[in-house]
Amino acid sequence: MNERLLAYYDDKLATLKSKHNYRSFANINHRKRYISIDGGERLLNLASNDYMGMARDEALHDEFMQTVEHDKLPFASSSSRLLTGNFEIFDEFEWQLQQLFGRACLLFNSGYHANVGILPALCDGRTVIIADKLVHASMIDGMRLAAQNGTKTVRYQHQNLPQLAKLLDKYQQDDGIDRIIVATESIFSMDGDVTDLAALVRLKRCHDKVMLYVDEAHAVGVRGERGLGCAEEFAVIDEIDFIVGAFGKAVASMGGYVICHKIMREFLINTMRPLIFSTALPPVCVAWTQFVFSKLIHMNHERQKLMTLSQQVAATIRRAGLPCPSASQIVPVILGDNQRTLDAAAMLRQAGFYAMAVRPPTVPQNQSRLRLCLSADLGQQELDDVLQVVSGVINAAP
Ligand code: PMP
pLDDT digits (tens, 9 = 90+) for 326-339: 999 999 999 998 88
In degrees, to the nearest 5, what angle opens at C-alpha 125 toward C-alphas 123 and 130?
60
**Where does the pLDDT of residue 398 fall: very low under 50, low under 70, confident under 90, or very high at 90 and above?**
low
Does ligand 1 have an atom closer than 6 angstroms to the CB of 245?
Answer: no
Please work out whether the CB of residue 256 comes within 6 Å of at least one atom of ligand 1.
Answer: yes
Q: Is 189 in the pocket of ligand 1 (CB under 6 A)?
A: yes
CB-based burial label for 351 (10 Å; 0-12, 13-18, 19+):
middle
Best residue for ligand 1 mutational test, from 50, 51, 136 (most atoms within 8 Å of Cβ): 136
Ligand 1 atom having least distance to the Cα of 187: 3
CA distance 255 to 108: 6
Quote the distance between the C-alpha of residue 375 and its chain's center.
Answer: 15
Which of 216, 220, 247, 249, when mutated, tests ligand 1's pocket best, judged by the most ligand atoms within 8 Å of its CB? 249
Report the b/e string of 131-155 with b at 16+ CB within 10 A: bbebbbebbbebbebbeeeebbbeb
Helix (H, G, I), strand (E, B) or coil at 155: strand
CA–centroid distance for 209 within its chain? 27
Ligand 1 centroid distance, CA of 253 (Å): 12
pLDDT at position 20, please?
74
Q: 15-45+300-396: which CATH topology? A: Aspartate Aminotransferase, domain 1 (3.90.1150)
Whether residue 120 has its Cβ less than 6 Å from ligand 1: no
Q: How far is the CA of 166 from the centre of ligand 1 (A)?
A: 29
Q: Is 330 in the pocket of ligand 1 (CB under 6 A)?
A: no
CA 345 to chain centre: 22
What is the 112 CA–ligand 1 centroid distance (Å)? 6
Q: According to the model, what pLDDT value does residue 397 have?
A: 57
Question: Mapping DSSP to helix (H, G, I), strand (E, B) and coil, where does residue 160 land?
Answer: coil
pLDDT value of position 107? 98
The predicted-structure confidence for 93-150, as pLDDT tens digits, reads as follows: 999 999 999 999 999 999 999 999 999 999 999 999 999 999 999 999 999 999 999 9
- Residues 155, 158, 163: CA angle, nearest 5 degrees: 65
The contacts of residue 378 (CB under 8 Å, 6+ apart) are 33, 309, 386
Q: Is the CB of 253 under 6 A from ligand 1?
A: no
CB contact burial 52-67 (16+ within 10 A = b; e otherwise): bbbbbbeebeeebeee
3-state secondary structure of 210: strand
Three-state secondary structure string covering 275-317: HHCCCCCCHHHHHHHHHHHHHHCCCHHHHHHHHHHHHHHHHHH
Indicate the residue type of 352.
G
Q: What residue type is assigned to position 124 of the chain?
A: D
Q: What CA–CA distance (Å, rounded) separates 347 from 125?
A: 51
Mean per-residue pLDDT for 252-269? Answer: 98
Tens of pLDDT along 139-196? 999 999 999 999 999 999 999 999 999 999 999 999 999 999 999 999 999 999 999 9
Quick check: 27 pLDDT over 80? yes
- Considering the chain, what percentage of its residues have pLDDT values greater than 90? 91
Domain ranges of the chain: 15-45+300-396, 70-296
Distance, CA 193 to ligand 1 centroid (Å)? 16
In whole angstroms, give the CA distance from residue 34 to residue 82. Answer: 41
Three-class secondary structure of residue 126 per DSSP:
coil
What's domain 70-296's architecture? 3-Layer(aba) Sandwich (3.40)
Cβ neighbours for 25, distance < 8 A, ≥ 6 positions apart: none
Atom number in ligand 1 closest to CA 135? 3
Which ligand 1 atom sits nearest the alpha carbon of residue 49?
A: 8
Q: For the chain, how far is it from start to end, CA to CA, in angstroms?
A: 45
Order of strands, sheet of 28-31, starting from the edge strand that comes earlier in the sequence: 28-31, 34-37, 42-45, 353-354
